[in-house]
Amino acid sequence: MGYGWGGAVVADTRQQQKSLMASAFATPFYRRHWVTQPEEWSELPILRDSDLKAARRDFPENVFGGRLTVPERNLLYIWPPSGALKPDISIYMGITDDERTHWVDVITRQWTVLGLGAEDVVQVLSWSNDPFVAVLTTAVGGASAYGSPAVDELLGILTVRLELVPSEARRTLATAELLHPAALFADSAHVEAMRQLLGTKTLASLGYRSVILRSVEWVEAKTRKQWEEAWQIPVRRLLEIPYALGYGLDCERNPQGVHFARDHYVIEVTDDNGHLVTEGTNGYFTITPLFLRSHPIIRYQTAITGYLEHEACDCLDDGVLFIPRPEGRQ
């Protein structure tokens, strides 16, 4: 199944974990959260929303709650995670130019898997403080006209930035009628609003090849199927973990699961006590973005439940798949 991850890459990931632990322990937040300098990754306490919220109160000197490892001025931009995507708006995120480059790599690979390439037009719907848009388009983002390219420029794609709010569906359709985009990144509410306006026309008749649903909650395979039937177009799903800059794309071959790029994220499944569970056992999805060094998020435990499978498919890097189980732990 798939091709091997390779010993050298595993060693590199370990190295990154070690250096991330060391730099994080220099911050007031992790010094308190971990208490002692950690030796092993698996011994690190997990991180929850409640920890991040409490840190805002306990370390009030900046909006990062004592997690900054670099001067704040080194950040290209800072944002409170979008209210539209439901996370708490009092927890702030930021990104440096270097971190942005890694993140651009994550998304570029996903877009390639989605079959998007040169000459395509892609509509990306987001809130304007949503970091997603910052890496996708050259027009915005920290780079703007002066810095490293974004996903669209790397792939030769023309991106149309639009608002996620369903009341803007008319504008989404108007630009689609002009530009015949290949793909639409949106949430289901917006696509439904578009469908109401379309009448007897279909999304495919406007040129769309697929809709990619953005969500912070996993959309089950059967729901995806229902959307596909209702919208008459292939639907793919992005699972977004905003605090960890985590963006996973559903599996092409196994619609039950989602892939996160393993050279950029450490993906684990942990139990209520924060301990690792064995493969195939249900637990909480726990993520670490290895590239996020400016204000590390380490072993961030989400409320999403599911399990890991190492032999579930033969796509992407090594076939490791997270299979969410929205009904909760068994």
Partner 1 sequence: MKGAFAVERYWDQTIQTMRPEDVRERQLKLLQRQIQYVYDRAPFYRDLYDRHGLKPHQVKTWDDFRKRVPVFHKDDLRDYQRRTGDPFSGLLCVPRSQLVGLWTSSGTTGLPTLGAYTRTDMAMAIEYMTRSYWDAGVRPGQRALLININFHWLMPLTWGMARRLGLRPLLFEFGHAMMAERIAQWILDYRPDVIPSITTELATLVPVALRKMGHDPAVALKGVKMITTMGEALTDTARKSLQQEWGGVTVRDGAGCGEGYVWMFEGSCDHPGAHCWGDIGYAEVLDPDTEESVGDPVGRGELVASNLLVQGVPYVRFGTEDYVDIYDDHCERMGHPYGRILGRSNWRVRVRGKDFLPYDVENVIQRFPETRKAEFFVTKEAAVQDTLTVSIAYDHDLTRNPDALRMSLSEALESELSVPIAITWVQSSEIPRPVPHKLQKFVDRSKNG
- Cα–Cα separations (whole angstroms), residue 48 to 38, 94, 169, 253, 273: 18, 18, 35, 32, 12
**Of 57 and 222, which CB lies nearer to partner 1 in the complex structure?**
57
Query: Taking contact as CB under 8 A, which single stretch among the options 2-10, 32-40, 127-135, 288-296 is the one that binds partner 1?
Result: 127-135
- Whichever of 203 and 298 has its CB closer to partner 1, that residue is 203
Beta bridge partners of 79: 93
Which pair of structure tokens corresponds to residue 239?
Answer: 């699972």
Q: Does 161 bind partner 1 (CB under 8 A)?
A: yes
C-alpha–C-alpha distance, residues 123 and 130, integer Å: 15
Which of 297, 271, 270, 262 lies closest to 286, judged by CA?
270
Name which of residues 47 to 66 contact partner 1 (CB under 8 A). 63
Give the span between the Cα atoms of 75 and 116, in whole angstroms.
30
92 vs 265, beta carbon nearer partner 1: 92
* Residue 276 makes contact with partner 1 by CB under 8 A: no
- Should residue 148 be labelled a site residue for partner 1 when binding is judged by CB under 8 A? no
Q: Is residue 175 within the footprint of partner 1 (CB under 8 A)?
A: yes
Residue span 228-267 as binding mask against partner 1, x where in contact by CB under 8 A, dash where not: ----------------------------------------
Residue with Cβ nearer partner 1 (141 or 283): 141
**CB of 21 or CB of 85, closer to partner 1:** 85
Is residue 152 involved in binding partner 1 (CB under 8 A)?
A: yes
Which of these segments, 123-131, 195-203, 220-228, 257-265, binds partner 1 (CB under 8 A)? Answer: 123-131
Residue number with CB closer to partner 1 (161 or 262):
161
The pair phi, psi for residue 50, each rounded to 5°, is -60, -35
Interface with partner 1 (CB under 8 A): 63, 72-73, 75-80, 82-84, 89-90, 92, 118-119, 125-130, 133-134, 137-147, 152-153, 156, 158-163, 165, 167-168, 171, 174-175, 178-179
